[in-house]
Amino acid sequence: MATQKQEKDYLYLAYKGKEYLWLGFTILSILISAYFLIKSDGEQALYFIALTFLAGLLYSFYRYRRKKTDTRTKEKLDVKP
């Protein structure tokens, strides 16, 4: 018996890659803003705190979008006989 090789879903991988990219930006901006707060440079830290919120928002958007695509794909596979 030959088993069929599962095709890679490159769109799924792109969504997941963007999701992890924004998570990385979020973590990096948290670290940089903490550094500037310790250094007592509040104005520079403010920019990175804003970037943290923006990156976190985009991370949650891409995560929601990927999960929605996952459920749609699973429903489509379950419906097929």
Decide: 36 and 45 in contact? Cβ < 8 Å: yes
Taking the whole predicted model, whether its pTM rises above 0.85 is answered as no
The answer to whether position 7 is within a domain reads: no
Specify the pLDDT at position 9: 76
The answer to whether position 14 is within a domain reads: no
Distance CA 13, CA 62 (A): 12
The answer to whether position 17 is within a domain reads: no
The answer to whether position 3 is within a domain reads: no
The answer to whether position 9 is within a domain reads: no
Specify the pLDDT at position 80: 60
Decide: 29 and 48 in contact? Cβ < 8 Å: yes
Q: Which two tokens stand for residue 45?
A: 């830290």
What's the pLDDT tens digit per position in 18-27? 899 999 999 9
Specify the pLDDT at position 6: 62
Check residues 66 and 5 and name the one with the higher pLDDT. 66
Structural domain boundaries enclosing 34: 26-79
Domain count, the chain: 1
The answer to whether position 41 is within a domain reads: yes
